[in-house]
């Protein structure tokens, strides 16, 4: 088994001084004579001393751990956000413990419990698509445990949150389609209770309105975020008597699924049907035709979430603060008619 790390005690013993002296010397405390300080620091250097975080944690009552709960860790969207969180966490000497809810509320609840047992100091979470009750988060807020949401957020909980401006984005997409000649613009959305679904729907409706188009309920489909359901939704849209001439999905996965289905049925993109996605995964570029998409500032979103987290920690309470990040429409071939 790995050799023990050297402790203050080891150094103290070797130098024949007390532990507290060593501790002070290492922080250049003026009480300790310069020569002794020098000697101690030299030995510490040589022995490669670094303070034991467990002991420190015990003393200071802090673990320097942040619990991060995401629906899924294998998607670029989340892993990129995680990178952002990790960056600022590292800067502050914190590290993150990642737990995946797999889009299941049950697992999400378990994650909260387990992370709590591990004594994380707080949470940064993106709701699972199933999550419709929030007791497990309310309990955190009651106990004044820092909590920040990102992307999929819960409006009813007194917690800071970061999200992207989905409303603006869907409006822009809708208008973009309109400007490219589309008149029957369909939208495949996510589970209805998710705030992102709602926001984006609002943007979609506003966009239609501004373009002078009437909303046709047939053109709005809610589906869960799986490929299968998205294909099914696409099929339904394509089976309509009055088919859509544009489809956009609430994320790129949905859009990819739609693309597969649209192609399979022999429609040309974008001539027959324009397409747009909503996250701008790397692969949007490589797909054929390249997918028009709304690029999320994922890394920044992670950074922002982490910053909010530390604000909460410092203020010693959850601030109700919403950061809304702007998003960009990246137009590619899948939506350019001409």
Partner DNA sequence: AGCATCAATGCAAAGCTTTGCGGAAGACAA
Partner DNA sequence: TTGTCTTCCGCAAAGCTTTGCATTGATGCT
Q: Which does 19 bind (CB under 5 to 8 A by kind): a copy of itself, DNA, none?
A: DNA
Contact partners, residue 215, CB within 8 Å, separation at least 6 = 205, 208, 209
Contact partners, residue 181, CB within 8 Å, separation at least 6 = 245, 337
Q: Is 75 or 295 the residue whose CB approaches a copy of itself more closely?
A: 75
Cα distance between residue 293 and residue 169, in whole Å: 10
Site for DNA in 35-94 (CB under 7 A): 36, 49, 51-52, 54-56, 58-59, 61
Select the residue interacting with a copy of itself from 259, 273, 294, 327 (CB under 8 A): 259
Distance linking the first and last C-alpha atoms of the chain: 67
Q: Is 60 or 320 the residue whose CB approaches DNA more closely?
A: 60
How far is Cα of residue 224 from the mean position of the Cα atoms in its chain? 18
Tell me how far, at minimum, the Cβ of 21 lies from DNA, in Å: 3
- Tell me: does residue 275 bind a copy of itself (CB under 8 A): no
Q: Which long-range contacts (CB under 8 A, 24 or more apart) does 5-12 make?
A: 5/49, 5/50, 5/52, 6/47, 6/48, 6/49, 7/49, 7/52, 8/49, 8/51, 10/47, 11/40, 11/43, 11/44, 11/47, 11/49
Tell me how far, at minimum, the Cβ of 147 lies from a copy of itself, in Å: 10
Q: Which does 122 bind (CB under 5 to 8 A by kind): DNA, a copy of itself, none?
A: a copy of itself
- Tell me: does residue 17 bind DNA (CB under 7 A): yes
Cα distance between residue 146 and residue 331, in whole Å: 39
Rounding to the nearest 10 degrees, give the CA dihedral for residues 197, 233, 249, 103: 50
Q: Which does 2 bind (CB under 5 to 8 A by kind): a copy of itself, DNA, none?
A: a copy of itself
- Tell me: does residue 1 bind a copy of itself (CB under 8 A): yes
Span interacting with DNA, options 12-20, 239-247, 252-260, 299-307, rule CB under 7 A: 12-20
Closest CA relative to residue 313, chosen from 81, 124, 125, 59: 124
Cα distance between residue 134 and residue 119, in whole Å: 20
Select the residue interacting with a copy of itself from 242, 288, 322, 336 (CB under 8 A): 288
- Tell me: does residue 106 bind DNA (CB under 7 A): no
Select the residue interacting with a copy of itself from 18, 29, 95, 265 (CB under 8 A): 95
Residues within the interface to a copy of itself (CB under 8 A) = 1-5, 50, 52-55, 57-58, 61, 63, 73-76, 79-80, 82-83, 86, 95-98, 100, 116-119, 121-122, 143-146, 256, 259-260, 263, 281, 283, 285-288, 313, 316
């Amino acid at each position: 088994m790995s050799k023990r790390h050297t402790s203050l005690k080891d150094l103290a013993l070797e130098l024949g001084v007390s532990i507290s002296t060593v501790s002070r010397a290492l922080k250049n405390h003026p009480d300790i004579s310069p020569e002794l300080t020098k000697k101690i620091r030299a030995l510490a250097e040589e022995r490669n001393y670094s303070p034991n975080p467990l002991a420190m944690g015990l003393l200071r009552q802090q673990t320097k751990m942040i619990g991060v709960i995401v629906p899924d860790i294998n998607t670029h969207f989340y892993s990129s956000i995680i990178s952002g969180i990790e960056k600022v966490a590292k800067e502050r000497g914190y590290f993150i413990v990642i737990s995946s809810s797999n889009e299941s509320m049950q697992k999400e609840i378990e994650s909260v419990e387990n992370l709590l047992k591990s004594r994380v100091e707080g949470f940064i979470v993106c709701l699972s698509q199933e999550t419709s009750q929030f007791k497990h988060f309310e309990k955190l807020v009651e106990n004044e445990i820092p909590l920040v949401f990102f992307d999929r957020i819960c409006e009813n909980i007194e917690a800071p949150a970061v999200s992207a401006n989905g409303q603006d984005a869907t409006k822009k997409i809708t208008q973009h389609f309109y400007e490219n000649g589309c008149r029957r613009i369909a939208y495949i959305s996510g589970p209805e209770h998710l705030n992102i679904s709602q926001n984006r729907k609002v943007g979609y409706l506003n966009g239609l309105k501004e373009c002078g188009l009437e909303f046709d309920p047939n053109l709005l489909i809610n589906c869960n975020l799986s490929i299968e359901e998205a294909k099914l939704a696409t099929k339904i849209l394509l089976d309509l008597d009055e088919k859509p001439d544009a489809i956009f999905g609430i994320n790129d996965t949905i859009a990819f699924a739609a693309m597969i289905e649209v192609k399979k049925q022999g429609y040309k993109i974008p001539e027959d049907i324009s397409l747009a996605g909503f996250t701008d995964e790397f692969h949007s570029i490589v797909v054929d035709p390249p997918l028009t998409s709304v690029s999320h500032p994922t890394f920044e979103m992670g950074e922002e979430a982490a910053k909010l987290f530390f604000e909460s920690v410092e203020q010693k309470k959850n601030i109700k603060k919403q950061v809304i990040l702007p998003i960009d429409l990246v137009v590619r071939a899948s939506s350019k008619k001409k």
